[in-house]
């Protein structure tokens, strides 16, 4: 006598066909495979951030309209985040790990060269970037410019190794790789600041290059960040692009955590689609803030077209996410019903 198998509900069958979701976080978190020189750099930057934070409250001097220690503080925090991220990512690699490790060690040297000059300039009360007013200042700025260029090359070499290795499931791989590519674009946008402005060419005063577009550096700005509130500021796209390296993978980790409450997000196809949509929206935002800065428009005073473009990016991304969820959900149900 044959025994009939109990019917399996479609939703249960769909969940059974979906591979289990790995725990958020990548293997280096548990394996200890961190790039140690970058971790030491991160520790040094954490210490510098504390020193700079204290210094900005006891030293009232200002450079280009902001406290002398704001720049060392910002660079210390940004470098800390960047160093920890690459130390973590290099730990994920099997193929090309030696090359990426060498690139990571190069990053340490290059970051230190830049940070030492920035801190030294703050200590003596002068600007570090774009300063060619004396032979010594010009030499320091040249060292910084070479270090920044070499840092971009080192980041490119390390990022290339990410494309030689699987980095978890498809969604995680896309998140890390897209974040690394956008970060390279963000780093490259920094070179937009290095050319002399028309005003500097007309009235040379030892400065060649500027953060601000439309006005001279040193006007009203956001607290600590210093981003101009009255003109365009090229530091904004540089910052946003550079930190895609953290933002996109962190967004995926948030999606993975949400999957504990939202079963649809357990489908790897949907998570991958959401990462692609998020990366596309990030690129669109980066292009928008770059255009806004180049147009001399403050980030806190967007005009009508800029505001409309920002809203359009958000609406398009949300609509695309819902559409992907519906399409992938229907496919999952059809597969379960077969």
| pLDDT on residue 25 | 46
Question: What pTM was computed for the model?
Answer: 0.85
| pLDDT on residue 10 | 41
Q: Is 258 exposed, middle or buried (0-12, 13-18, 19+ CB in 10 A)?
A: exposed
Question: Which two structure tokens, joined as six digits, stand for 306?
Answer: 């800029």
- Please, what's the b/e burial string for 33-71 (b: 16 or more CB within 10 A of its CB; e: otherwise)? bbbebbbebbebbeebbeebbebbeeeeeebbebbbbbb
Strand 212-213 with 66-67, pairing: unpaired
| pLDDT on residue 9 | 42
| pLDDT on residue 3 | 43
| pLDDT on residue 214 | 83
Q: Which residues pair with 67 in a beta bridge?
A: 62
Distance, CA of 132 to CA of 136 (rounded, Å): 8
Q: 3-state class of 131 per DSSP? A: strand
CB atoms within 10 A of CB 333: 13
Q: What are phi and psi of 213, to 5 degrees?
A: -115, 125
- Cα separation values, 224 from 62, 66, 220, 293, Å: 12, 8, 11, 19
Question: Which two structure tokens, joined as six digits, stand for 234?
Answer: 């090229």
Domains of the chain in start order, with CATH, are 32-165 (1.20.120), 181-338 (no CATH)
| pLDDT on residue 278 | 96
- Cα separation values, 311 from 170, 182, 216, 287, Å: 29, 21, 30, 14
C-beta separation of 108 from 37 below 8 A: yes
- Please, what's the b/e burial string for 171-184 (b: 16 or more CB within 10 A of its CB; e: otherwise)? bbbbbbbbbbbbbb
Q: What is the pLDDT along the chain (338 residues), one digit of tens a residue?
A: 444 444 434 444 444 445 555 544 444 444 458 999 999 999 999 999 999 999 989 989 988 778 889 899 999 999 999 999 999 999 889 899 999 999 999 999 999 999 999 999 989 888 888 878 788 888 888 898 899 999 999 999 999 999 999 888 899 999 999 999 999 999 999 888 887 777 777 777 777 778 888 888 777 888 878 888 888 999 999 999 999 999 999 999 999 999 899 888 888 899 999 999 999 999 999 999 999 999 999 999 999 999 999 999 999 999 999 998 888 877 767 766 66
Helices marked H in 133-259 — which ranges?
135-162, 170-189, 198-202, 235-242, 244-258
C-beta separation of 128 from 121 below 8 A: yes
| pLDDT on residue 63 | 82
Distance, CA of 172 to CA of 35 (rounded, Å): 20
| pLDDT on residue 90 | 93
C-beta separation of 61 from 67 below 8 A: yes
| pLDDT on residue 332 | 67
């Amino acid at each position: 006598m044959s025994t009939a198998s109990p019917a399996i509900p479609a939703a249960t069958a769909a969940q059974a066909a979906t591979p289990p979701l790995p725990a958020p976080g990548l293997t280096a978190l548990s394996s200890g495979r961190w790039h140690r020189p970058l971790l030491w750099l991160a520790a040094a930057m954490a210490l510098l951030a504390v020193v700079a934070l204290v210094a900005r409250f006891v030293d009232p001097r200002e450079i280009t309209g902001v406290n002398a220690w704001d720049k060392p503080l910002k660079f210390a925090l940004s470098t800390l985040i960047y160093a920890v991220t690459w130390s973590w990512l290099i730990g994920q690699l099997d193929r090309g790990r030696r090359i990426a490790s060498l690139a990571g060690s190069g990053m340490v040297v290059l970051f230190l060269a830049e940070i030492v000059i920035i801190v030294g300039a703050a200590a003596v009360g002068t600007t570090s970037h774009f300063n060619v007013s004396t032979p010594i200042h010009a030499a320091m700025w040249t060292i910084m410019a070479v270090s920044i260029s070499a840092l971009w090359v080192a980041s490119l070499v390390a990022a290339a190794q990410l494309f030689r290795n699987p980095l978890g499931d498809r969604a995680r791989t896309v998140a890390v790789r897209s974040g690394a590519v956008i970060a390279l674009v963000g780093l490259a946008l920094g070179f937009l600041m290095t050319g002399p402005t028309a005003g500097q060419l007309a009235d040379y005063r030892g400065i060649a290059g500027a953060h601000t577009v439309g006005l001279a550096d040193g006007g009203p700005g956001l607290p600590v960040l210093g981003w101009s509130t009255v003109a365009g500021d090229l530091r904004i796209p540089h910052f946003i692009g550079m930190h895609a390296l953290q933002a996109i993978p962190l967004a995926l980790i948030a999606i993975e955590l949400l999957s504990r409450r939202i079963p649809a997000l357990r489908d790897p196809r949907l998570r991958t689609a959401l990462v692609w949509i998020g990366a596309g929206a990030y690129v669109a935002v980066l292009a928008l803030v770059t255009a806004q800065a180049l147009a001399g428009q403050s980030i806190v005073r967007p005009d009508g077209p800029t505001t409309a473009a920002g809203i359009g990016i958000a609406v398009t991304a949300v609509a695309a996410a819902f559409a992907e969820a519906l399409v992938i959900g229907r496919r999952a149900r059809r597969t379960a019903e077969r």
